[in-house]
Amino acid sequence: MPALLNIVLLIYLLPAVDGTGYIQTKFREFVNINGQRYDGTCCGPAPWLWGSRKKTNCGEPCKHAFVICMGNVTQSSSMSACEYGSKKTESVEGNKITFDDHIGYDENPLKFPFETWPGVVKLKIKINDNSDSEEQLVDRVEYQYNTRDLRREIDAPVHDVTLQGERTRLDVELKVFCAMDFYGPACDLYCKETDDVTGHFRCDPVSGDKICLNGWAGADCLTNIDDCVGHGCALGATCVDGLGYYSCKCPPGRTGHTCQHEVNECSSSPCVNGGRCKDASNGFLCECPPGFAGILCEVELNECRSAPCLNQVID
């Protein structure tokens, strides 16, 4: 196939939009032990000039290109009946190929998106040989896979399949899972976690149900729960609603989480000049020693000012 046509075909075959889920095919290993095509001819040149090209073991490696067609259960074996998309890889040389993260230039695994849950999928693979100028059939295999109880990508089970053809064997891993933000056994429940004016929730990883963040309620978790209902703030304190909690604003003279403690105003030793502090419900009193006065006993009394002394005693 000319390169340009190949590129055009690839763009046309690749689905542009992402779906609610994916059917994933990962190639593991491919074996064409005899290096033969479907009709028994060798992929490589004939081993002997005069010999027949039909050999039981040709020796030369084939150039295998894979056409993968993901059809639904009612679709025929035709390689053009591919409800969930199709893909043609570049050719890979070798009669025994172990795949890593690429099939030719294509990424391994291949992902086929679906918009609605497919139920049973029909995986059809055609293997061609590109050794000659004209593409030749090597093999074709088909496999029906019953997908159900779909899950997130990390939890989805991997299904190992050996596709045995006439000439070849292909080991693949199948995995079907929901796309990001889609949940439920059919990947048809949408949930995208958010924490802004559109809602305050995360998504249950199994059911896809909205789980309100702490302090929020309602269908989209847009109602701020009044956490002050039945609050435990002490008498005289004001309850302040938070997100999933409340706090207490204490009146003067009280402290603690629920304003349960009385402030000991004497703890800072406010009285001076030997005054004795006495705690009160919202403040303190200083008992001043003789010769001192004032709220904090800060005033020194001049006891001579009243002139108590007789006979000119000078103090």
Ligand X SMILES: *[C@@H]1O[C@H](CO)[C@@H](O)[C@H](O)[C@H]1NC(C)=O
Binding interface with ligand X (CB under 6 A): 72-75, 83
Minimal distance in Å, beta carbon 245 to ligand X? 51
Which one, 145 or 284, has the nearer CB to ligand X?
145
Minimal distance in Å, beta carbon 19 to ligand X? 14
Minimal distance in Å, beta carbon 120 to ligand X? 8
Q: How far apart are CA 206 and CA 287, in angstroms?
A: 70
Which one, 58 or 70, has the nearer CB to ligand X?
70
Which one, 33 or 73, has the nearer CB to ligand X?
73
Partner residues linked to 210 by β-bridges: 203
Which one, 60 or 83, has the nearer CB to ligand X?
83
Minimal distance in Å, beta carbon 145 to ligand X? 14
Minimal distance in Å, beta carbon 151 to ligand X? 21
Q: What is the DSSP annotation of the chain?
A: --HHHHHHHHHHHS--S--SEEEEEEEEEEE-TT-B-TTSBBSS--SSTTS-SB-S---SPPEEEEEEEEEETTS-S-TT--TT-EEEPPPEE-SEEE-SSEETTEESSEEEEESS--SEEEEEEEEEE-SSSS-EEEEEEEEEEE--S-B-TTTPPPEEEEEE-SS-EEEEEEEEEEPTTEESTTS-EE---EEETTEEEEE-TTT--EEEPTTEESTTS-EE--TTTT--PPTT-EEEE-SS-EEEEPPTTEESTTS-EEP-GGGG----TTPEEEEETTEEEEEPPTTEESTTS-EEP-TTTT----TT---
Minimal distance in Å, beta carbon 119 to ligand X? 7
Minimal distance in Å, beta carbon 114 to ligand X? 10
Minimal distance in Å, beta carbon 179 to ligand X? 18
Which one, 72 or 224, has the nearer CB to ligand X?
72
Q: How far apart are CA 276 and CA 298, in angstroms?
A: 12
Which one, 83 or 220, has the nearer CB to ligand X?
83
Which one, 75 or 273, has the nearer CB to ligand X?
75
Residue 19 in contact with residue 115, Cβ under 8 Å?
A: yes
Q: How far apart are CA 153 and CA 283, in angstroms?
A: 65
Which one, 75 or 194, has the nearer CB to ligand X?
75
Q: Among all residues, whose Cβ is closest to ligand X?
A: 72
